[in-house]
Amino acid sequence: MIHWSLLFYLSILLSGSLAYSSKPTPPNEQLSVWARLSTIGSKTLLKGLESNDYQVIEDALTQPNITFLLPRDSVLQSAISTGTLNFTRVNETIPQLLRHILPGTYPANSLLNGRQYILTNDSTHLPLAIGPRQQTNNNNNNDNDNDTLLQIDSGVVTANVIIRDIHCSNGIIHLIDQFLIPPMETLSTIETIPELETHEQLMKSLNLTSVVSGPNKTVLAPNDAAWAAANSSTMPYGTLVHNLKYQVIVGIYLSTSLFTSSPDMTITLNTQRRDSSLRFQRAPDNPDQLLVIGKSNSDVARVIRSDIITTQGVVHIVDKVLSADDGILYTSGASDSPNDASSDGGGPLAGVPANNPSDMPQDAFESRGIIVSNFINLTLLISTVLFSLHLL
C-alpha cells in the first residue's frame, strides 16, 4: 500500500515539474540586442560591461532600430591582450564600443548593394565604409566571393562579417572578425599600414610629411611594391619630391565619388604638384575597379585598397608611382580626354589660387627664387661696370 502511495505522489510531483519546464520561452527574435548577447556566447563583452559605468552601452543596445557589429569573443580577448581594448579605461572604451553600433537596421543584403558610408553612434562623426569585398587585382575572374563577402572599414581596420543577420526585437547583429578602432590622423594612418612603409620613409627623409598632413586631403599612396618597381632608391631628389606631391589632392574624395557613370568617362582633379592633375576612370576590364591616370595614358595605377578614412581626409592605396615630370619615369605628353567629367561628390576641388603666395607650392617659390637671385646678380654686375667707366 505504501509503495503505491509513493508512486502516486511521485507522479504528481513529476507532472508539476514537467508543466513548469514546458513553460514557453521567448524565441531569440523576441530578445533585444542586449539580451541576445548572452545567447550567442559573448561572455567577454558582458563581463567587461558589468560596471555601472557602462550603462550607456546597455541603453544603446536596447534602443529601437539598431545594427550591432559584434566582434566575436576571441577577437575581444585578443584586443584586450594587445591593450587595444581596456575596460578599466571607461572614457576611452565607451566611444570604441559605440563605433560598433549603427543607428538604423541594415540587413546584409542591403549592405551588399554597393559601397556605403554609414555614421555610427560614436562622437567622431566619421563614417564606416561598408560594402562587398574590394577587388585587389586586375584579374577578372568568376569568383562570386567578392559579391557575397561583406566588409567593414574603420580607419586602418578592415573587418569581415562572418555571421550575418542575427535578428533581434530591436534590430540586427552582424558578427565580425575584427575590433573596430576610430580613424587616426593621416600621417599616423600611413605609419600603421605595413605596405606603406616605403612611402612613410620617403616622406620623412625628405621632410615632406606636411604634404599629407592637415585637413581636407585625399592621398593616393603607392605601396612598397610600387616604389620598388619605380626604383625609388635611385630617383633624383627633385623627382621624388614632385611624385609625392603629385599623388595628393586637396579635397576629400571617397571612392564612390571618383567612379564615373560610364567607363569611357573620366574625372579630372588637380594635385599639389604645380600645374598637374590626375584622371580617374573605371577599369575597362573590371567596372568595379578604379584607375588613376597620370600625364600619359600609359601611366596608369589601380586603386587596390580604397576609403581608408582618417580624421583629416582619406587614403587610397595604389599599385604604381605616377610620374609628375614629363619623360622622367615613364611616358609623357598625353592630351586631356575629351570625355572629362567634373566631380559632383566628395570634397572641394583642388584649385590653388596663384595670387596667394602662402598657397603656392614650395617648388614655385624655389623657381622664382632662382630668377630673383639671377636678376640681383646681373644688376650688381651692371652697376659695377658703370661705376668703373665713370672712374675712367
Q: What is the pLDDT of residues 183-204, one digit of tens each?
A: 999 999 999 999 999 999 999 9
- The predicted structure's pLDDT at residue 24: 56
Same-domain pairing of 148 and 236: no
Residue 115 lies in a domain: yes
Q: What mean pLDDT is reported for the chain?
A: 81
Same-domain pairing of 149 and 216: no
- The predicted structure's pLDDT at residue 263: 79
Q: How far is CA 324 from CA 147, 293, 304, in A?
A: 36, 11, 21
Same-domain pairing of 69 and 211: no
Alpha-carbon gap, residue 218 to 307, rounded angstroms = 10
- The predicted structure's pLDDT at residue 3: 56
- The predicted structure's pLDDT at residue 45: 98
Provide the edge-to-edge strand list for the sheet that holds 248-250. Answer: 248-250, 217-222, 313-318, 300-309, 286-293, 277-283, 266-270, 340-341
- Domain hosting residue 98, numbered range: 28-176
Same-domain pairing of 199 and 300: yes
Phi-psi region at 90: left, alpha or beta (left = phi > 0; alpha = psi -120 to 50): alpha
CA angle 232–191–300, rounded 5-degree value:
45
- The predicted structure's pLDDT at residue 261: 80
Task: Please say if the pLDDT value at position 342 is more than 50.
Answer: no
Alpha-carbon gap, residue 153 to 309, rounded angstroms = 8
The percentage of residues in the chain with a pLDDT greater than 70, rounded to a whole number, is: 73
Quickly state the pLDDT bin for 328 (edges 50, 70, 90).
Answer: low
Domain boundary among 138, 158, 176: 176
Task: Please say if the pLDDT value at position 320 is more than 50.
Answer: yes
Q: Where are the beta strands (DSSP E) in 212-265?
A: 217-222, 248-250
Output the nine-digit C-alpha cell for 226: 610600387
The pTM for the full model equals: 0.76
Same-domain pairing of 226 and 344: yes
Calculate mean pLDDT across residues 42-64.
Answer: 97
